[in-house]
Amino acid sequence: MRSIKRDANGKMTRIVFCNEGPEYFEFLAQYQRNTLLDLYRSLNPGFNILEEDLFVDNVYNPLNKWNSSTDTGTIMHLIQVNNTLGAEVDLGARATVQRKRPDGTLITDSDELIQCSKYGNPNRNSDPTIGAGINAAARNQVMLTIQNPVGLYIDSINWNLIEPPAGHDEDDPSTFWKWTRGRTGNYMRGEFEVPEGKGYVLGDLKVNKKPLEYGGQLADYIRVSITARTSDLQIQPRLCTEAPPPVAQDCACEEPLAMSNWSYALLQEKSLPGLANHSVNRV
């Protein structure tokens, strides 16, 4: 998700990217409203953000005016219904199930896998890519779980094709980028703005030899990934028509929990031998 601020000439002066889900903000809205308001204000200086802007009938509104506009540069978190932690875990869990055709050949095609296991949205670019990456790891006969803290994170930016305007060859555009949420390896929000006094703005930069006009030009060079941890386990492929078997757990539930291999791995993470990290990129 991104939001852009432009000057009177329509040139881009500031852009904000974020990929944090809504859960943390919803929690603050319920239990620590002052913290939520302070967070909005601290990340968006220069704007008169009021508490009543963030709530409708005393309930937090993720689509408030400071988090739903693409032309103010004030976004805070994702708002699309599929961009939640629950949706991420569901996609990851379903993608771990190996699939085969009636003739026994393994299914590896990203489009065929997402249609078969019904995870995410097949019309998006990200969901089939992430699912295929997770499934490829699962085909190596390993058990997977999402690494803590669970989430999709910005892990790198390719600055090679992002250049300053003519006459400013010594400037390094990567130094104009500022992380505002997260930490190394787990970044969730970043701002891009040319410092005052440089004599030019973001719209004067070149991306792949073309003037920077749209956020999508930069988004192409931002890598977002999900990191999984793996451990050895023999897993047999299932036919596309088969669902994962239920795994009974000792609990106080009225009925046994039906859990996928992914969910079981989440419960057993601390006891899994040979845990290793495995990143799956979202493009």
The pLDDT of residue 238 is 75
> Whole-angstrom Cα distance, residue 215 to residue 199?
21
**Backbone torsions φ then ψ of 56, nearest 5 degrees:** -125, 120
> Whole-angstrom Cα distance, residue 4 to residue 164?
19
Alpha-helical regions (H) of the chain: 23-31, 33-43, 51-54, 85-95, 110-117, 126-138, 215-219, 261-268
Can you give the residue ranges of every domain in the chain?
2-79+159-220, 85-149+226-282
The pLDDT of residue 249 is 54
Q: What is the pTM of this model?
A: 0.75
> Whole-angstrom Cα distance, residue 194 to residue 182?
22
> Whole-angstrom Cα distance, residue 144 to residue 148?
12
The pLDDT of residue 280 is 54
The pLDDT of residue 281 is 53
pLDDT by position in tens, the chain (length 283): 788 999 999 999 999 999 999 999 999 999 999 999 999 999 999 899 999 999 999 999 999 999 998 888 899 999 988 789 898 889 989 999 999 999 999 999 999 999 999 988 888 888 899 899 999 998 988 888 888 888 889 989 999 999 999 999 999 999 999 999 999 889 999 999 999 999 999 999 999 999 999 999 999 999 888 888 888 766 677 788 766 666 655 544 344 333 344 433 333 333 333 444 555 555 4
Which two three-digit tokens encode residue 60? 């937090």
Which two three-digit tokens encode residue 28? 């603050």
The pLDDT of residue 273 is 39
The pLDDT of residue 125 is 80
Pairing mode, strands 2-6 and 162-163: unpaired
